[in-house]
Structure 1
Amino acid sequence: MAGFFSSLLQWLSGLFFSKTAEIAIVGLQASGKTSFVNVLGSGQWSEDVVPTVAFNLRKIRKGNVTMKIWDVAGQPRYRSIWERYCNGVDAVVFVVDSSDKEKFETARFELHQLLAQPTLHGVPLLVLGNKNDLEGHASVNELIKALQLDKITNRPVSCYSCSMKSQHNLDIVLQWLSGRSH
């Protein structure tokens, strides 16, 4: 009987104390954006992820937080639409393949182009250096320097090294995202 009341209380608190967060996930192609959304939603990582065309919308509930997540394609032809999906969100998540250092300059350019849009002024930014399970990946300090995150002053900025495959640091990332809910 105590289990029933505990379940009932949890259900009721979810009704009255639930929070929402709208998140846009952007980054260059093959950085792990869709894998991130899949791991958040199902807890499962897969090698067989089809590249996103334009965008995917997914709602994921974690505890008392419901996240509406825009997973936006990273191929060059879609980067011009990033702003549209980032406008009005509670946070922007920029995913970088931390093992592909040759793409850091392009990633920096695209990130700063996006953040220069007046409609995104003040929107919190989370940079995820994904694929830290691969040898030779960049550290958080290397990412901060390569992407010039220290030059971004008009919004809160956080950067974490993570791996969708091993789910390393996923708990910290979820905590950060939940902190953006209202």
Structure 2
Amino acid sequence: MGMSLGKPFSGFYQEIEPRIVLFGLDATGKSSIMHKLKTGQVLTINMPTIGFDVESIKYKDSTLSFWEMGGQQRYKLFPLWKHFIQEIAGLVFVVDSTDRDRIEEAKDFLNMVIDEIHGSVPDNVAVLVYGNKHQVPGAMSASEISNKLDLTSLRNKNWQRNWHVQSSCAFCGDGLHEGLDWLLKNAERI
């Protein structure tokens, strides 16, 4: 009897897609990465994300809900972060690996986000850093990005998170799937 009563109500309950928060400074390629992962196509419109964008992306056997935080509004959105980070499966921080002038700003922003979410996110949430635009001559390597962001110091703040820096290219797709594979393997709720 329980089976027959449950069927009519099965449409009311959906499985919640694991939430991945995608963030970074403006012009790092967050929207391009999300579009490439969703459609396999190159994003042809170059327009900053205002506020946030949410996309469901099917990858292998999973459907992930990507929440992109607009880089232009990064400081204005801080009061809303507590709503975006609830029950997240992973964080994806996007860095422009060609922008050596703003890598210190990216480090400060990452530290500010980590401080903001401290206590709201379990310590085991995986953090993927995409070093985007790696195909451009003179781009920073994954190890250089890791050093410039000083990811090891974040572990000293009692953040026992899994970190991974993946060189990537939103246009040709290099590194995007390798990064997602790492995230799927290391995220608790996926």
TM-score tier after normalising by the smaller chain length: 0.7 to 0.9
CA RMSD, 1 decimal: 1.9
Corresponding residue for 2:99? 100
How far residue 22 of structure 1 moved from its aligned partner, in angstroms, is 1.1
Q: Please give the secondary structure, in 2, of the residue aligned with 1:107.
A: helix
* 1:24-83 deviation per Cα after TM superposition (whole angstroms, max 9, x unaligned): 000000001111110000001124232101000111112220100101101144452445
Deviates more, 1:42-51 or 1:122-131: 42-51
Aligned residue among 43, 46, 54 for 2:43: 46
- Matched length: 165
Q: Which runs of 4+ in 1 moved over 6 A?
A: none
Is 1:160 the counterpart of 2:162 in the alignment?
no
Give the TM-score normalised by the residue count of structure 1: 0.83
Corresponding residue for 1:131? 133
Corresponding residue for 1:177? 183
> Which consecutive unaligned segments of at least 5 residues does structure 2 have?
1-14
Q: 1:96 to 1:29 in 2, by over 3 A?
A: same
Q: Please give the secondary structure, in 2, of the residue aligned with 1:119.
A: coil
- Percentage identity across paired residues of the two chains: 28
Corresponding residue for 1:115? 114
* 1:155-176 deviation per Cα after TM superposition (whole angstroms, max 9, x unaligned): 1111111111121112211212
Alpha-carbon distance between aligned partners in 2 of 1:132 and 1:138, rounded to the nearest angstrom: 7
Q: Please give the secondary structure, in 2, of the residue aligned with 1:49.
A: coil
Corresponding residue for 1:86? 85
How far residue 178 of structure 1 moved from its aligned partner, in angstroms, is 2.6
Q: 1:62 to 1:121 in 2, by over 3 A?
A: closer
> Which consecutive unaligned segments of at least 5 residues does structure 1 have?
1-17
Alpha-carbon distance between aligned partners in 2 of 1:78 and 1:51, rounded to the nearest angstrom: 15
Is 1:68 the counterpart of 2:38 in the alignment?
no
Alpha-carbon distance between aligned partners in 1 of 2:122 and 2:163, rounded to the nearest angstrom: 12
Alpha-carbon distance between aligned partners in 2 of 1:72 and 1:172, rounded to the nearest angstrom: 22
Alpha-carbon distance between aligned partners in 2 of 1:19 and 1:85, rounded to the nearest angstrom: 14
